[in-house]
Amino acid sequence: MLNQQSISRYRKYGEEQPYWKAGIFKVRLPFVHYAWSIPEMVQAVFMCATCLGAIPVLTEVLGVSYDIALSMVIVNGFFYTLHVLLGDPVVPGWITPAVPIITAFLTSGYEIGPSRTQALIALQMILGIIFLVFGITGLGAKMVQVIPTSVKAGVLMGGGIAAVIGEFKDTGRYGMYPISISVGIMVAYFCLFSPIWSKLRQKNKFIDAIGKFGMLPAIIIGVIIGPLMGEIAIPDIVWWPLVKIPELGDIWNQLSPFSIGWPSAATWLAALPVAVVVYIIAFGDFVTSAALINEADEIRQDEKIDFNANRSNIISGIRNTAMAMVCPYTQTCGPLWAAVTAAVGQRYKEGPRAMESIYSGFGTFRISTFLAVMMMPISSLLQPVLPIALSLTLVVQGYICTQLAMNMCESDIERGICGVMGAVLAIKGAAWGLGVGILLSLLLNESKNKVAVTK
């Protein structure tokens, strides 16, 4: 597949992966503009367990059936593929830290049924419009550039701390599946971040083959250990029908504002501040995306990677607006799945022989998860392990976010602001954390002190 002289049969050394120009978008198709990546396809089969983890929340909060919730996951999976298709070099995901905020807003103020669904429609529609406005006006990219380093690092730190706290607090998933999650975390961390594992991969072809699959070994461990320890049920695999056809008609009748009616003015007003907070949380994903992509771009000189926060905002806006009108989603549509983006990025850094292009890994993974959630044998096999897979993803994301946050800071002042802001954000919420970070940055005159420390 790879050409020794040009590194890739798709591009010349140091150039950007080919695409079809469409305004701000750069359209790329598998097999046409980038190679298919087998390791990412296999990893996606099991990692789709995290995507399916939305089902319990959807059934509990919106009162839909399992089949409708699975259909909603499939629809959401289709919209995931838009990012790489339109030129965004990331694996998109949920706005995960916002899920508790969104569910609290819905369950505390609205009865289950049309009124609660309309509240979610209003929230996600406003969120989509915010994404679109920031992307179209160019404010999205400018925010990433002008926000002080300590504040950007604080957003990452807070997101990482919040993700870990959420799993280990008294009501978190760790208390329900302690053995499966403990072993899964150790396997995931060792396979993704350990220099010992990295050296073993260089010496042993079998270990290297395992290492190509990112978080997959940790998920498989969960599938095996969970039933053995009695923490999850033995999967009841459904072999037929082989493919789940999404129940679009029922989704439309039960969830679309064109069927159940549009939210009232009071509902729109109530949803507005929640949507703003959710966007503030999502802003951290753009910072994380830029950090992850820049890190990979520096190592892989053979490919130029173009990450554009404006484009990412627009695609996220399209997804949220479309989902609000078709099947509003409690997890909302975020611009980044940090754990998998980092895991695929780690393999990409190994060189063109490991992964032809960053789009090969990301594009293959998201197309494969979309197809995998439709396969009934896969979704039924993974159904019991869904909470464990989600927990592992969040704890890995916590490691990545805190690591990136500390790497971004270059002075003691930046590190101090990052730590305090991150703690406040994790405990008090996004708005508080952002406010504290900006205030401390101004109070401590971060930019001038940074120069002084650098000198």
User: Residue type for 188, please?
Assistant: A
**293, two tokens:** 């992509």
Residue 194: φ, ψ to 5°: -80, 130
d(CA 387, CA 66): 15
- Whether 449 has a pLDDT exceeding 60, the answer reads no
d(CA 96, CA 158): 13
Q: Which is higher by pLDDT, 227 or 434?
A: 227
Residue 133 has a CB neighbour count (10 Å cut-off) of 14
The model's pTM is: 0.81
Tokens 């890995």 correspond to what residue?
A: 396
Give 412: exposed, middle or buried? Use CB within 10 Å, 0-12, 13-18, 19+: exposed
Top mean-pLDDT range of 97-101, 127-131, 146-150, 447-451 = 127-131
Give the pLDDT score at 448: 57
Query: Which H or E run includes 372?
Result: helix 358-372
- Whether 100 has a pLDDT exceeding 80, the answer reads no
Give the pLDDT score at 171: 85
Answer yes or no: are the C-beta atoms of 128 and 313 closer than 8 Å: no
Collapse the DSSP code of 425 into the 3-class scheme (helix H, G, I; strand E, B; otherwise coil) and give the result.
Answer: helix
pLDDT over 70, % of the chain: 96
Q: Which is higher by pLDDT, 78 or 279?
A: 78
Give the pLDDT score at 447: 60
d(CA 12, CA 6): 5
Q: What DSSP designation does 357 have?
A: -
- CB environment 153-170: b (16+ within 10 A), e (fewer): bbbbbbbbbbbbebbeee
**244, two tokens:** 């789940």
Give the pLDDT score at 7: 63
